Chain A
Amino acid sequence: MAILEVENITKGFENTEILKGISFDLEKGKTLTIIGRSGSGKTTLLRCLNFLETPDSGTIKVNGEVLFDGKNPSSSEKELREKRLHFGMVFQQFNLFPQYTALENVVLAPGLLNPEKDKVQILVEGKAILSKMGLLDRMDNYPHQLSGGQQQRVAIARALALKPDILCFDEPTSALDPELTGEVLKVIKDLSRQETTMIIVTHEIEFAKDVSDEIIFMDDGIIAEKGSPRQVIDSPQNERTRQFLLNYHT
């Protein structure tokens, strides 16, 4: 069964329709990549899944549970917080908390959300995740003491610490110098191998082809093409997809 079912999501801002009916499913353990031009609605879609934006209509289900229904959209702050925890989010600009060390960034939310849980246990788990990101030796550094690639890996660790069902990445390497993108992509690829369920918005076409189980090409608020990396990247059927991929061709 699909872990995530998205049906007919629409979203507009001041008379501009950004999402014009997006539907897709995602199987547990799979990696879905969303590519497309700037302004095609990729980021807005991710933000809707994380409830940073409220869709105008449509439904979002996780594990069969309806998290959002456009016919009955209101929910209390508390419900909203619980729904959000199904998703993790890694931002383009990292958004680490500057006054906390790498480890503190990772353990802050688990500590606040489970006040009765053993603090030592939380620290041990936090360190384990940082070590998975190859950052154990930097755990006491503050964000400004880390490179962009290291900061983004801390941000990934921070999202993983809450064990989300689905981990979302919003252009995770777009703010990085080219020589730093590799270390972040490698970490994401490892997560993909370990069957973390992920949705990645990216402009790294080669990486998308390499890491994805499925690729969606979004164009002007709709899903223009969807399929395996081989189908979408190597033999695109849609003219707009072909045009878009021409910019990248190697």
Chain B
Amino acid sequence: MFTTVTLSLLEGFLGTLKLFVLTLVFSLPLGLVISFGSMSKNPVLRLPVRFIIWVVRGTPLMLQLLVIFYGPGIFLGNNLWGSGATGRFTAALVAFVFNYACYFSEIFRGGIQSIPKGQHEAAAVLGLTKSQAFFKIILLQVVKRIVPPISNEVITLVKDTSLARVIAFYEIIWEGERFIKSSGIIWPLFYTGVFYLVFSGLLTLLFGFIEKKLDFFK
């Protein structure tokens, strides 16, 4: 039984992992783009972006999942996501990417705005372009400052992936819960917690390592 459960949970965890990795891959760069929008001097860009961030951060991710999954079918009369597991996964991914990008954008904004003005001015008087200044001088200092809050969000993401079950995305808790109905046992559900603990433990180590790597400057 233990082996059956383990294999089954592993399969569910693979779904969790796929959602987790792809969410990070897309939401981190998108978050940077959104943060530039939210810092724009042009209110036509800044205000809508800030409004979207407010809505996304101000409503539950579970609600966003439902709206994004069912919304196109209801409002456009056309199920954008296609049928089957792939469609549900795509919808879940879009919801997660959008949600996390907004949170990341605020972390990026805080990090970028915390860099002293003198760094930008020193780059300017040395004749660097704005993009040279950002990528060669500002970015790494921002990264160093935002590693702790980003690691918080990333570890939250590991656990948030379980919300995708509301649109029937098969992740690990879904798999664990099946055994209650099929075999009348509840321990597989607790067993899923071990997966989460081990994975977030590994992430904690990884972020600790990154922090240490960036310790060479202050």
Contacts and interface: CB of A to CB of B under 8 A. Distances in A.
A109 B126 contact: yes
B128 A144 contact: no
A77 interface: yes
Contacts of A122: none
Contact of A95 (B121, B128, B130, B132): B121
Interface residues of A, number: 28
Nearest to B216: A142
A87 B217 contact: no
A112 B118 contact: no
B109 to A, nearest CB: 21
A99 interface: yes
B124 A52 contact: yes
A144 B218 contact: yes
What is the interface residue range for chain B against chain A?
Answer: 20 to 34
Contacts of A95: 116, 118-119, 121-122
Given A98-B217, A98-B218, A142-B217, A113 B127 contact: yes
Contacts of A99: 137, 140-141, 144, 216-217
B122 A97 contact: yes
Interface in B61-117: 116
A2 to B, nearest CB: 22
A162 interface: yes
A112 B130 CA distance: 12
Nearest to A82: B127
Interface in B139-167: 140-141, 144
A187 interface: no
A81 B123 CA distance: 10
Contact of B126 (A52, A77, A142, A158): A158
Nearest to B144: A99
A108 interface: yes
Contacts of A138: none
A179 B130 CA distance: 37
A97 B119 contact: yes
A84 interface: yes
A234 to B, nearest CB: 34
B125 interface: yes
Given A98-B217, A112-B132, A81 B137 contact: no
Interface of A: 50-52, 77, 81-82, 84-85, 87-89, 91, 93, 95-99, 108-109, 112-113, 142-144, 158-159, 162
26 contacts: A52-B121, A52-B124, A77-B129, A82-B127, A84-B127, A88-B125, A91-B122, A93-B116, A95-B116, A95-B118, A95-B119, A95-B121, A95-B122, A97-B137, A98-B217, A98-B218, A99-B141, A99-B216, A109-B127, A109-B128, A112-B128, A143-B217, A144-B217, A144-B218, A158-B126, A159-B126
